[in-house]
Structure 1
Amino acid sequence: MTAVVPTPSKCGIIYPSSDKEPVAETYDHLYAILTTLEVLRQYLLNRQATVLANQFLYYVEGFPKLRVAPDVMVIYDVEPGGRDNYKIWSEKQVPKVIFEITSKSTQDEDKSSKKNLYEALEVQEYWLFDPKGEWISQKLQGYRLKGDSYESITDNQSEPLQLRLAVEEKVIGFYRLDNGQKLLVPDELAQALKEETLKRLEAERQAEQERQRAVKLESLLARYKERFGELPEE
C-alpha cells in the first residue's frame, strides 16, 4: 500500500537521528514509554528482533523529511540491538507493532495522520495508550491490519507479540498468551530480585545453622567417647 515516490540522487543525503525535541511531554508519558521499551526488549532477548523508542523511522529512501518517531516500535527478522534511526529500505522490514503514548495534545495526530501512515506502511498492529485517560476512556486502544485497513482490537491481545495487554494504572501490563505469566516491569524485576536474594540469604543462614548444630553434636559426641568410650551398640 505504500505510495511509490521517485527517488532522487542519494549522494550526500543526511538522515538525522534527533530533532532536539523532548522525548515525552510529561513524566507519566516518559515512564510509560521507557517501561514498554524495557519490558518488550527483555521479552525479545536472543531473538531476531529489536525494540526502539522515540527514534526516527524513515520510510522513503532519498527523502529524509519523510519520517516519523514512534514512541515504541517492535521489528522482527532484523539484527538485534539498538539503532540511531531505522530505515525501512535498508533493514527490509516494516515494524510489526507500534505504540504511541498519547495525550490530549497529540490525539489528533495519533488517531489520524499517524494511524493513516502506519496503515499505509502495513504495520500489523497499532496501539494507543493514554496513561492519564485524557481522551481514551479505557486508556488503551489497539488496531490490527485486516486487508488494507485497521480494525479495532477488542480482546487486547497482540498477535505478533503473542501477549495480552492490560492497563495497570499508568503503564501497560504484558502477559504471555501461552502460560499467562506476566512480563515484569523494571520496578517489579528489582523487587523480585530483592525477594529472591533475601530467600537465598535466609536459606544460606539456615544451612549455616544446621552446619553449626552438626559440628556441635560431633564435638559433644567426641567428648562423650573420651569419658565413657564408644557408645553401646543396640
Structure 2
Amino acid sequence: MTSLLPTASPTEIFYPSSDGEPVAETYVHLYAMLVTLEVLRQYLEGQQATVLSNQFLYYAQGYPRLRVAPDVMVIFDVAPGGRDYYKIWEEGQVPAVIFEMTSKSTQAQDQVFKRTLYEQLGVREYWLFDPRGEWIDGQLQGYRLHNDTYEPITDGRSDPLKLRLEVDGHLIAFYREDTGEKLLIPGELAQALRTEAQARQDAEARAAESELRAQALEAEVERLRSRLRELGAEEG
C-alpha cells in the first residue's frame, strides 16, 4: 500500500528554532538582555545590520546539533530584521559582536566553551556582563580579536559598534563615540518623549498667550486712535 504522507528527503536536515529551555536564568538577566537588544536595535536602525537575541546560531552546515544561542549578537552587512535562527553559511557573515549575560552557574561555559568558539568563528568582540556581580570584577569584561586570538578590552569601547560601554546597575549603558550621547533605554526614551511633548505643548500655550496679548494690545491701540479721532472732531 502506498503511503499518502509526505516523506522527508534523505538529505533534508531540520534546524530547530528553539529547545524549550528558559530564555534567561533570572529576571535580572532577562531584563539586561532585552534592554541591550532594544537599545542596539534602535541604534542600528536603517543600517544593513541585524540584532538578534537568544536565537540559535548555527555554525556548521549539515550539523544541526552544532549551535549556540548568544544572548545578544550583532551582525553587519546582512538584511535588517529578525530571524528565527541564524545560519552563518547562508547569511555569509559571522556576528561582529556578541554579548552574554553571565552568572556564577554559567561562568565555565561562558569563559571557556563560548569564548573559544567565538574566537574560532572570528567574532570580533565578545562581551561578558555579570548583572549581579557574581564573578566578574566590575561586572563587565570584553575581549577583542587580535591576530585570531582574544585579548581583554581595556578601553571600555566597542570598535565595531563605535560605542563606549559602562555599567549602570544591572544594565550596560551605551554612549556614542561621536557625540558622547547616551543611548536611551526604553523607559528613558519614553520619558524623553513625554518631556518633549510637554515642552512642545508649553511652547504652543505660550505662543497662544502671546498672540492673545498682541491682539489685546492691538485692540487697545485702535481704541485710543478712535478716541483721538473723536476728540479731534469735537475740537473742530
The verdict on a shared fold, with TM-score over 0.5 as the criterion, is: yes
Partners in 2 of 1:156 and 1:231 — Cα distance? Answer: 80
Deviation at 1:223, TM superposition (A): 2.8
Residue 18 of structure 1: aligned partner: 18
Residue 130 of structure 1: aligned partner: 130
SS in 2 for 1:17: coil
Partners in 1 of 2:68 and 2:89 — Cα distance? Answer: 15
Residue 30 of structure 1: aligned partner: 30
Show CA shifts across 1:11-30 (max 9, x none): 32111111121111111111
Show CA shifts across 1:58-107 (max 9, x none): 00111111100000000000001111100000000000000000011111
Asked whether the equivalents of residues 10 and 62 of structure 1 are also in contact (C-alpha less than 8 Å), the reply is: no
Residue 63 of structure 1: aligned partner: 63
Partners in 2 of 1:229 and 1:127 — Cα distance? Answer: 82
**1:187 equivalent in alignment to 2:180:** no
**1:105 equivalent in alignment to 2:136:** no
Partners in 2 of 1:156 and 1:76 — Cα distance? Answer: 21
| Residues 113 and 201 (structure 1), Cα distance of their counterparts in 2 relative to 1, 3 Å cut | same
Partners in 2 of 1:148 and 1:203 — Cα distance? Answer: 56
SS in 2 for 1:117: helix
Question: TM-score by structure 1 length?
Answer: 0.91
2:29 alignment partner AA: H
Residue 140 of structure 1: aligned partner: 140
| Residues 163 and 230 (structure 1), Cα distance of their counterparts in 2 relative to 1, 3 Å cut | farther
Show CA shifts across 1:128-149 (max 9, x none): 0000000112100000111122
Partners in 2 of 1:230 and 1:72 — Cα distance? Answer: 81
Residue 50 of structure 1: aligned partner: 50
Deviation at 1:231, TM superposition (A): 11
Relative contact order, higher structure (CA 8 A, sep 6+)? 1
Partners in 2 of 1:41 and 1:188 — Cα distance? Answer: 15
Structure 2 counterparts to residues 130-209 of structure 1, below 5 A? 130-209=130-209
SS in 2 for 1:126: strand
Runs of at least 4 residues off by over 4 Å: none
Residue 80 of structure 2: aligned partner: 80
**1:90 equivalent in alignment to 2:94:** no
Determine which structure has more spread, i.e. the larger CA radius of gyration. 2
1:45 alignment partner AA: E
Deviation at 1:10, TM superposition (A): 7.4
Partners in 2 of 1:15 and 1:187 — Cα distance? Answer: 36
Residue 6 of structure 1: aligned partner: none
Deviation at 1:228, TM superposition (A): 2.8
| Residues 229 and 113 (structure 1), Cα distance of their counterparts in 2 relative to 1, 3 Å cut | same
Comparing 174-183 with 126-135, greater Cα deviation is found at: 174-183
Partners in 1 of 2:25 and 2:171 — Cα distance? Answer: 16
List runs of 5+ in structure 2 lacking aligned partners. 1-8
Same amino acid, percent of matched pairs: 63
Question: TM-score by structure 2 length?
Answer: 0.91
Partners in 1 of 2:34 and 2:17 — Cα distance? Answer: 18
Show CA shifts across 1:181-212 (max 9, x none): 21111111111111111111110110010011
SS in 2 for 1:151: strand
User: RMSD in angstroms over aligned alpha carbons?
Assistant: 1.7
1:75 alignment partner AA: I
Asked whether the equivalents of residues 225 and 231 of structure 1 are also in contact (C-alpha less than 8 Å), the reply is: no
Deviation at 1:179, TM superposition (A): 2.1
